[in-house]
Amino acid sequence: MDDRAPAGGQPTSESLPEPDDADQPPLPAKRQWWLAALAWLLSVGAFFVPQRIPLEWYPLNEPGTDIHYLEIKCASNADGWVTLWYDITHGWSDIDQIKFPISPTEQTYTYTFPLPDAPMIGLRLDSVAKGGAFTVHHMRIINRRGEEVRAFPIESLDAVQGIASVRSLPPGWVITSTPDAAMATVLVEPFSMIQPVGMTGRNIHRCLLSSGYLAGMLVILMLAVTSAFWRPTGWRDFVGHIALLALVAVPFSAVGNRGLIRNTVRYAAYEPVERPPHPTLEITIVADRTCETQLYWDTGAGFAEEASLHRSCVRVNEPHVLRFPLPDQPLQTLRFDPARSPCVVSVLKVALTDGKGNTAREIPRDALISVNQIVSLTPTSEGLRIESAAEANDPYVHFSGEAVEAINTAADAVRADARKSR
């Protein structure tokens, strides 16, 4: 056999060494920029999938001193749970609540809870049920400096269900539930929106930090996978691949934080809905027991249950303001039922307001006329004392014709102001 090389000095195929795959470097990965475009397209659609995220899940190391806390100093005479719901423009939601257990004690304890960086437009309290009494020394919103932002006195409470009584116990108040109540609920009127100072800046900071952390982790994970089949051929190749991975990671990090981002935008742009003026009859009473009151109006069709409003008086021997929004039609007759059973009720004040606390016309208390199951109407230094019969089951009084006319005139003025404000 002739081992000499062929002419030209080139070795034959038999003389070439076998290649060793282990010694070969991985082939460079081709940068496919269309993947980034696809990632952005998919993430835009996924961004609008609903996601509810409470902002307090994203704390800041240095949040400043203007974030809000809810502070409540309270005690109870029964075992149970206390739930505080806050409406941050989404309505009542299970993730927007504070719930804590409470046991019988005469000593009040102070609880402090962080609140989300969001505008608060409503507050609700679910107290202990089954006849329990929940004592509140004070309830307020404070900042990190301990400064009071908003306090909630007894005047801000409105009984909703399962409440036997609400009475003052200086400097606070006591809520007692009915014996059969599975839930005892009062609404706490904030009177105006409560918004933390610097809220938007802190929320943007949270968005940047959270999205940045998530994007960085995604880049690291994708880089680890890519390095299994790619080695950079130079710094430009390395930077190009990192840029591609970042373009894929950034939109998906925004998707992961879409609830936080969308809440931040929503809260920054939120403007409270201004409640338009509306004619409202406010009757301030003091009752010797809890009672169910009712106001009937006749606009030409006579008295009917659907042309009436119920209001519960749960404060015993203390002033309680009953608010009755009136219909848009002129009134012909007005009837007030102070209770559904024997009672003694003193009417301290009657006024037609715009529903926002501004009095349009004060109505004389002697404008009330005894009609059914009323023993006496007695003027006193404080107001008009109404005493019903011992066997009364439907006591009521009427407003005089002059009073009804005065209410109609004042109501027309309130409606005119409402039309101007639109």
pLDDT per residue as tens digits for the range 362-403: 999 889 999 999 999 999 988 999 999 999 999 999 999 999
Say if residues 319 and 166 touch (Cβ distance below 8 Å): no
First to last CA, the chain: 109
Q: Where in the chain is the domain with CATH 2.60.60?
A: 68-188
**Residue corresponding to tokens 């400096």:** 145
- Which of 52-56, 186-190, 206-210, 364-368 has the weakest average pLDDT? 52-56
**Residue corresponding to tokens 């809870």:** 113
Please give the angle made by the CA atoms of 362, 365 and 366, to the nearest 5 degrees.
130
- Which residues, in sequence order, are CB contacts of 164 under 8 Å at separation 6+? 131, 176, 177, 178, 179, 181, 290, 314
DSSP state letter for 166: E
The whole-number average pLDDT for the span 75-100 is 94
pLDDT of residue 1: 46
Say if residues 381 and 365 touch (Cβ distance below 8 Å): no
Separation in Å, CA 74 to CA 58, 143, 175, 273: 29, 19, 11, 33
Within 13 A of 228's CA, how many CA atoms are on the CB side? Answer: 4
Domain over 68-188 is classified CATH 2.60.60: yes
pLDDT of residue 28: 46
**Span 251-291, pLDDT tens digits:** 999 998 999 999 999 999 999 877 788 999 999 999 988 88
Separation in Å, CA 100 to CA 84, 117, 137: 9, 21, 17
